[in-house]
Amino acid sequence: MKRMAYCFVLWLMALPIAGLAEHPNAQAPAQEAPPENAIETLPLDELAALADVYGEIKKSYVHELTDKQILDGAIRGMLHNLDPYSSFLNADEFAQLEESATGDYAGIGIEAVHLPEGIKVMAIVDESPAKASGLEVNDIITEIDGRPAQGMSDVEGSELMRGPPGSKVTLVVIKAADNKTQTMTITRQIIHTTSVRYQLLEQGIGYAHINEFQIRSANDLSKAIATLEKNYKGSLSGFILDLRNNPGGLLDGAIEVSDLFLDGGVIVSTKGRLPEGNESYTATSGDILRSKPMAVLINGGSASASEIVAGALKDHHRAIIIGTQSYGKAMVQTILPIHGGNAVKLTTSLYYTPDGKSIQGSGITPDITVEFEPLKTSQESPTSTRAGDVLNNYKQDNQVMEALNQLLRTSNTTNL
């Protein structure tokens, strides 16, 4: 199986695709491979101590544990001790990781938030079973297959609503339109989601938010820009790329998104112990926006792959960066399949912006610092209280409005 490269901050939205050395824009320096017969001496004393600990746990621990429980725990501890991002993935976790970064899963097709009173529907995927059933935004799900949804965790709710394609799930729903309770049975199917949401703002300024970097993010963003230009009936006068609260995702996804807006030059470089961890990724010719002004929004929730994009566009002076300091994670994890369908997520390299800066622990500094000012919500005038949730009410997001005003000033100046 292939080695798989990720940039992320302890999230479960990623897809293993080509390893670091397989990206078409990668330029790996030549390095000598170690001799094939090189064998590192095993630390026998330490291994004996590990076996002793295993034996004592098996014999004396207050709760009886299986061999698998003890050994899985030992592996998890070994990896966790390396850094906060290296970890062990059992077969189920590995499968979930693979599934989620494609944007494809078997379910009903909603985005939701868990509230004390139940699960609130925040968005519905087009052509999904949820949409066909009549489920609507702001509906509250109070039961899933007879289980109360009040106080239910995100993970539990997701597991109950997902399932094999063709299987059914029964929901009890309080409809937002009339506050009446309705029971609906929905047949699950494969859902094709996108990590990109977009909107045409005023005076030809386009806006798109990427919530995670998936295998199709660059393609979806390219389609979004084409749709915005079609709706505007002309080239956009500027563009806002919102990476707030985007924890990362696929390294290739970040490189491909950056490449959309750059006409050449280094996007990001990585440095590690092994040859495949030492690479430089360069942009291909062509800027999808044809050099129109651009702004990128970041905050403390923008991490890893998001910081690669923001750093590349900042260092190349392609976009103005607006918001607050990003998270500061410059480590690349590689997913390495191991025995039994399991995998390890191992930090294998560090990445650097085009100017050679590592943002590990420091983050990307905005060109214009603007703190997010959430507006209070009310039933009469519902508004967004989280950065990035701006569709249909972007004027209530002060960071988006700062970016919009900056682009309008730049666009007007350019057109004089």
- pLDDT given for residue 384 in this prediction: 43
Q: Which of 162, 118, 170 is nearest to 139 (CA)?
A: 118
Mapping DSSP onto H, E and C, the string for 252-289 reads HHHHHHHHHHCCCCEEEEEEECCHHHCEEEECCCCCCC
Q: Which pLDDT score is estimated for 205? A: 97
CA-to-CA distance for 247 and 144, rounded, in angstroms?
A: 29
Q: Is the pLDDT of residue 15 over 50?
A: no
Q: Is 191 helix (H, G, I), strand (E, B) or coil?
A: strand
Q: What does the DSSP 8-state code read for residue 213?
A: B
DSSP string, 30-98: P-PPPPTT--PPP-HHHHHHHHHHHHHHHHH-SS---HHHHHHHHHHHHHHTT-SS-EEE-HHHHHHHH
Q: What is the pLDDT of residues 108-164, one digit of tens each?
A: 988 787 888 999 987 788 789 999 999 998 899 999 999 999 988 776 888 888 888
Query: What stretch(es) of the chain map to CATH 3.90.226.10?
Result: 196-415
Name the fold adopted by 196-415.
2-enoyl-CoA Hydratase; Chain A, domain 1 (3.90.226)
- DSSP-derived secondary structure letter, 381: S
Rounded average pLDDT over 295-311: 96
Tracing tokens 């494809």 back to the chain, one arrives at 104
Residue 373 has phi, psi (to 5 degrees) of -120, 90
Contacts of 301 (CB under 8 A, 6+ apart): 244, 245, 246, 247, 327, 387
238-286: per-residue pLDDT in tens? 999 999 988 898 999 999 999 999 999 999 999 999 888 899 999 999 9
Q: Which residues pair with 8 in a beta bridge?
A: 248
Q: What is the mean pLDDT of residues 51-64?
A: 94
Angle of CA points 212, 392, 403, to nearest 5°:
65
pLDDT score of 10 = 29
* Residue 226: HSE in the Cβ half-sphere, 13 Å Cα cutoff: 7
Mean pLDDT confidence for 322-334: 94
What pLDDT does 37 receive?
47
Over 60: is that where the pLDDT of 84 sits? yes
Backbone angles phi, psi at 272, to 5 degrees: -145, -175
Extended beta strands in 229-359, E state:
238-242, 248-250, 266-272, 279-282, 294-298, 320-323, 331-337, 343-352
Per-residue pLDDT tens for 59-83?
999 999 999 999 999 999 999 999 9
Q: Would you place residue 7 in the very low, low, confident or very high pLDDT band (cuts 50, 70, 90)?
A: low
DSSP-based three-state secondary structure for 331: strand
pLDDT at 22 over 60: no
Looking at the annotation, which residues are catalytic? 304, 315, 329
The CATH architecture assigned to 106-192 reads Roll (2.30)
Where in the sequence of the chain do the CATH 2.30.42.10 domains occur?
Answer: 106-192
